Amino acid sequence: MASPELPVPDGLVLRPFRGVRFTVDDPAGVTSPPYDLISDSDVQELLDTHPNNVVRLILPSPGARATNGAPAWQTAPDSGARSSDAPAASTPAAPTSGEAATSPGAPSWATAPSSASEARAAREADSGGAADSEGASAEPYGQARNTLRAWLESGVLIRDDEPALYVYEQSGPGVLQRGLIGDVGLAAPEQRIILPHENVMPGPIADRLSLMSTTQANLEPIFLLYDGGGPATRLVDTVATTRPPLVEAVTRDGIRHRLWAITDTGEIDLINADLHGRQALIADGHHRYATYRVLQRQEHATRGSAGPWDFGLSLLVDSTVYPPDLKAIHRVLPWLPLPEAITRAKGSWQVRDFDSLESGLEALESTADPAFLLAGKSGTSHLLTDPDPLQLAHAMPTDRSARWNALNTSVLTEFVLPKVWGMQDDEQNVRIVHHDPWAAVRLAARTGGTAVILKPLAVEDVLAVAAEGERVPRKSTSFGPKPRTGLVLRTFD
């Protein structure tokens, strides 16, 4: 049940807010991908693009300040992985399953799904929890707070005069997505208003909580989907096609990002009347949404009153009109050599051998799930198909739905990893590589381990599982296109 002292929204609510935006000449140069898709080497590349890049706020680095007052990591050459042992603020208990970390110091293709903050947070969880909030406030989160304040005072960032809902468009070759950025009213999962579909782990929540509570800000939106096709979407399309944008930026990937502000109270009321009875699915940002709710409880316990912490910065997209792109997330098992993985798999799976990764990927694409492609430094690939039905049935949990048990990530988590290979699905044993099977194989080759290549889940399966109140295993989905960070921020004052 939701905590009785917390506000309980009676529907999906998207509140206008006074957005905080950069005033620089090149708005693309100050934006970044979401924090958990930024590697250590990416940080320096973003800062080389623009010294005021938003990465300085979302991934503050520990370390002494340089003589010019900037953090040392901003002025020093990139030396690989940044330090990631800073303390995080003390947090209430959080769920215990979720994201994995990749190896520090790995190249960007290997570490892209695991930011320095997540690696730091995972190590804090391993060491028995986080330190007190005073230490967290000092550094690096205090650096983010001080940088945010300095940029607001100097005019690098400005706060819009009027509260607004922001129409956000991403467009490019094969890409068109439009949605609304605003303050979403926070709701417990059991209220069935905002539906999570993946599990989370406490480390990243502790890290994001330290950042949000210290900066008193939401610095990047989560990504929500809803089944719409109503007046809100029609208004979004009208704004995007008839009004001049507030911000326009083209990022290096060729995607054009445009932003409009809706300040008319009649239009805002129309949007919320349409949204009120709908459900939203968390497409990206499970840890940040969980952090929003932990921060809400923390602020209510401290202040005893309602406030900006009862809402969280979100991008809401009508998936009926703008269907999302769902990509696969692959696994790398650095401690399991490929020959051993194949040998063990043959006791419960049919194994087909291919002389190249390309031929194995073609076969995987045309094979019904559950199926997995194994590869490593040998250059060969090996397709697992047709699991032994008795072994599979014995391994899968009886308290899960048939649809959940049929997901390839569920079979991997409940059967292949623990029963076939004798390991748990955690950040020590399993590393994560988003989207690119070649990147996963390169990481496996570098570590002497095994890459496990998966097909993406079907959007309808994810939606159905979430609608039943279940959650898919961690790192099962990667919805896109993800919102660009830095186009509009939200502060609590």
Percent of the chain with pLDDT over 90: 74
pLDDT of 112 higher than 50: no
Instruction: Name the strand (E) or helix (H) holding 282.
Output: strand 280-284
pLDDT of 107 higher than 60: no
Q: Could you tell me the pLDDT band of residue 66, with boundaries at 50, 70 and 90?
A: very low
| Torsion angle, alpha carbons of 219, 223, 228, 230, to 10 | 20
CA neighbor of 253 nearest in space, from 486, 469, 68, 481: 481
pLDDT at 414: 97
Instruction: Name the strand (E) or helix (H) holding 118.
Output: helix 116-126
Question: What DSSP state is assigned to residue 414?
Answer: I
pLDDT at 8: 85
pLDDT at 78: 29
Please state the rounded mean pLDDT for residues 184-208. Answer: 91
Q: Could you tell me the pLDDT band of residue 491, with boundaries at 50, 70 and 90?
A: very high
pLDDT of 69 higher than 70: no
Q: Could you tell me the pLDDT band of residue 40, with boundaries at 50, 70 and 90?
A: confident
pLDDT at 333: 98
Q: Return d(Cα 182, Cα 184) in angstroms, integer.
A: 6
Mark residue 291 as left, alpha or beta (left: phi above 0; alpha: psi -120 to 50; beta: remaining): alpha
Contact 374, 339 (CB under 8 A): no
Q: Return d(Cα 446, Cα 376) in angstroms, integer.
A: 9
Please state the rounded mean pLDDT for residues 94-107. Answer: 34
Contact 480, 412 (CB under 8 A): no
pLDDT at 210: 96
Q: Could you tell me the pLDDT band of residue 90, with boundaries at 50, 70 and 90?
A: very low
Q: Return d(Cα 163, Cα 15) in angstroms, integer.
A: 9
pLDDT at 158: 98
Model confidence pLDDT, tens digit, residues 410-427: 999 999 999 999 999 887
CA neighbor of 421 nearest in space, from 475, 340, 351: 340
Q: What single letter denotes the amino acid at residue 263?
A: T
pLDDT at 81: 31
Q: Return d(Cα 295, Cα 216) in angstroms, integer.
A: 10
Please state the rounded mean pLDDT for residues 468-489. Answer: 93
Which structure tokens are listed for 27? Answer: 């708005």
Q: Return d(Cα 475, Cα 199) in angstroms, integer.
A: 8
Percent of the chain with pLDDT over 70: 84
pLDDT at 339: 97
Model confidence pLDDT, tens digit, residues 364-413: 999 999 999 999 999 999 999 999 999 999 999 999 999 999 999 999 99
Alpha helices in 312-371 (DSSP H): 338-345, 357-365
Model confidence pLDDT, tens digit, residues 119-158: 333 333 333 333 333 344 448 899 999 999 999 999 999 9
Please state the rounded mean pLDDT for residues 150-174. Answer: 97
Q: Could you tell me the pLDDT band of residue 19, with boundaries at 50, 70 and 90?
A: very high
pLDDT of 110 higher than 60: no
pTM: 0.79
Q: Find the range with the poorest average confidence among 190-204, 236-250, 294-308.
A: 190-204
Q: Could you tell me the pLDDT band of residue 281, with boundaries at 50, 70 and 90?
A: very high
Does residue 111 or residue 155 have the better pLDDT?
155
Q: Return d(Cα 141, Cα 164) in angstroms, integer.
A: 28
Which structure tokens are listed for 247? Answer: 């911000």
Q: Give whole-number Cα distances, 152 to 25, 145, 148, 160, 182, in Å.
A: 16, 11, 6, 12, 20
Average pLDDT, rounded, for the chain: 85
Model confidence pLDDT, tens digit, residues 221-277: 999 999 888 999 999 999 999 999 999 999 999 999 999 999 999 999 999 999 999
In 360-454, beta strands by DSSP E: 372-375, 381-385, 431-434, 450-453
**What's the gap between Cα 49 and its chain centre?**
23
Q: Return d(Cα 458, Cα 10) in angstroms, integer.
A: 30
Contact 253, 170 (CB under 8 A): no
- Residue that the structure tokens 């990139």 belong to: 78
pLDDT at 173: 93
Q: Could you tell me the pLDDT band of residue 168, with boundaries at 50, 70 and 90?
A: very high
pLDDT at 7: 86
Burial of 173 (0-12, 13-18, 19+ CB in 10 A): exposed
pLDDT at 37: 87
Q: Measured between alpha carbons, how far apart are the two ends of the chain, in Å?
A: 30
pLDDT of 205 higher than 70: yes
Model confidence pLDDT, tens digit, residues 320-360: 999 999 999 999 999 999 999 999 999 999 999 999 999 99
